[in-house]
């Protein structure tokens, strides 16, 4: 990954973007893709679409990651100046207490999610409180002082920074799914450089973590011939994952192509062959018997049905402040997506044969 691409990735990761409050992160993405896309547009809720206009001889495909991250929201301001919070998306109650947080008010406000000292609690009765029972301390003496700083409805994110681990591995909050939007943008850049015949839409959707809402909007609006969802998936190559939940996905072993449910068999085969024959990257396979849990679940039932597939980035510790990815996987996913865009021009449609 060169310096320009690395700077883009780090800026995305450092820009808070909780569901429903994605504007700042989307601005970063739009500013980047505007340098090479033929057109960039946004909709009323902030979904962003960048376009490479193909020759007109090929199909139209959309490649999308979601811009939003999990977080919290200020639910109440108590008389003593503490804040009650609620989850935004699937926030993990087991890792939130004792964390530094930022409340994104008119001006950022720093706080901590309180955790009673181990000396003052009965550890034999320890249990994980629901997020709704946890509180944020911003240092305010009372509710009047707190209201001078924040309002009910302000979003809250954990205040972590990017950390470089050994090799090509990075740790940060919000890898889910800023790495997917990075891959979508990079795939578009490569498609533009190759001047592929396929018309390619790179998309950064909003509100995936709260029900795939942005994808529902974009799927109806674009109506492409095919859709590739780029998201993270669980790397289960750590000692804490039980045998019954351990799967075939490992960090640093390449893109993950999902089979089953929403994943259209023609697109699965296209992704696998493009990876092997053009991108020269190894592919890991994953099964989805019911649903993918990605934007593909919204796209494939949009309008009369849009052939869809999920291409994923292995990710450790999902929905925690210390998600870990391998940057070689990001480059390989981008290469695979660009190869799919190139090879897709040979397809008149993506229908299954009956």
Q: What span, in angstroms and rounded, lies between the C-alpha atoms of 174 and 11? A: 12
* CATH 2.40.30.40, the chain: domain bounds: 71-158
Span 71-158 CATH architecture = Beta Barrel (2.40)
pLDDT at 121: 86
Distance CA 327, CA 142 (A): 45
208 is catalytic: yes
pLDDT digits (tens, 9 = 90+) for 45-84: 999 999 999 998 889 999 999 999 999 999 999 999 999 9
Domain spanning 3-69+173-346: CATH 2.30.130.10: no
Q: Which residues of the chain have pLDDT under 70?
A: none
pLDDT at 124: 79
Q: Which candidate in 60, 69, 208, 253 is catalytic?
A: 208
Strands 83-88 and 135-137: antiparallel
Is 280 annotated among the ligand-binding residues? no
Q: What is the maximum span of the chain, computed from C-alpha positions, in angstroms?
A: 70
**Residue 127: its pLDDT value, please?**
87
Annotated binding residue 231: yes
d(CA 179, CA 12): 8
Question: How far apart, in whole angstroms, are the C-alpha atoms of residue 286 and residue 293?
Answer: 13
Per the annotation, does 351 bind a ligand?
Answer: no
Cβ contact 208:19 at 8 Å: yes
Name the segment(s) of the chain with CATH classification 3.40.630.10.
3-69+173-346
Q: Is 80 annotated as a binding residue?
A: no
Contacts of residue 297, Cβ cutoff 8 Å, sequence gap at least 6: 212, 215, 261, 262, 291
Cα 354 from Cα 341, distance rounded (Å)? 25
pLDDT in tens, 173-221: 999 999 999 999 999 999 999 999 999 999 999 999 999 999 999 999 9
**Confidence at residue 354, expressed as pLDDT on a 0 to 100 scale:** 86
Q: What is the pLDDT of residue 125?
A: 80
pLDDT of residue 126: 84
pLDDT for res 122? 84
Question: Cα(42)–Cα(9) distance, rounded to whole angstroms?
Answer: 21
Task: Give the tokens for residue 162.
Answer: 């990017």
pLDDT at 251: 97
Q: What pLDDT is stored for residue 244 in this prediction?
A: 77
């Amino acid at each position: 990954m060169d310096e320009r691409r690395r700077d883009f990735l780090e800026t995305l990761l450092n820009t808070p973007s909780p569901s429903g409050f994605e504007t700042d992160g989307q601005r970063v993405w739009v500013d980047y893709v505007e340098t090479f896309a033929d057109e960039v547009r946004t909709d009323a809720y902030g979904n962003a679409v960048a376009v490479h206009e193909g020759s007109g001889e090929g199909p139209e495909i959309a490649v999308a990651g979601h811009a939003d991250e999990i977080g919290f929201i200020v639910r109440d301001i108590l008389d003593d100046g503490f804040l009650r919070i609620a989850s935004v998306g699937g926030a993990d109650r087991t890792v939130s207490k004792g964390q530094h947080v930022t409340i994104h008010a008119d001006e950022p406000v720093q706080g901590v999610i309180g955790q009673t000292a181990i000396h003052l609690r009965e550890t034999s009765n320890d249990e994980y409180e629901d997020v709704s029972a946890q509180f944020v301390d911003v240092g305010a003496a009372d509710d009047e002082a707190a209201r001078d700083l924040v309002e009910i409805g302000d979003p809250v994110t954990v205040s972590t920074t990017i950390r470089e681990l050994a090799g090509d591995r990075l740790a940060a909050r919000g890898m889910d799914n800023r790495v997917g939007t990075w891959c979508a943008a990079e795939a578009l850049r490569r498609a533009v450089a190759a001047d592929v015949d396929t018309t390619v839409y790179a998309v950064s959707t909003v509100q995936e973590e709260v029900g795939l809402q942005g994808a529902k909007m974009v799927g109806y609006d674009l109506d492409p011939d095919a859709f590739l969802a780029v998201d993270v998936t669980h790397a289960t190559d750590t000692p804490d994952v039980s045998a019954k939940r351990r799967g075939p996905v490992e960090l640093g072993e390449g893109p993950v192509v999902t089979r089953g449910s929403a994943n259209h068999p023609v697109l699965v085969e296209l992704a696998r062959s493009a990876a092997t024959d053009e991108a020269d990257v190894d592919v890991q396979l994953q099964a989805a018997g019911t649903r993918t849990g990605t934007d593909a679940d919204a796209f494939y039932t949009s309008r009369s049905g849009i052939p869809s597939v999920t291409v994923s980035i292995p990710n450790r510790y999902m929905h925690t402040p210390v998600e870990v990815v391998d940057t070689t996987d990001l480059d390989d996913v981008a290469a695979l997506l660009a190869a799919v865009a190139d090879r897709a021009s040979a397809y008149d449609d993506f229908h299954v044969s009956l």
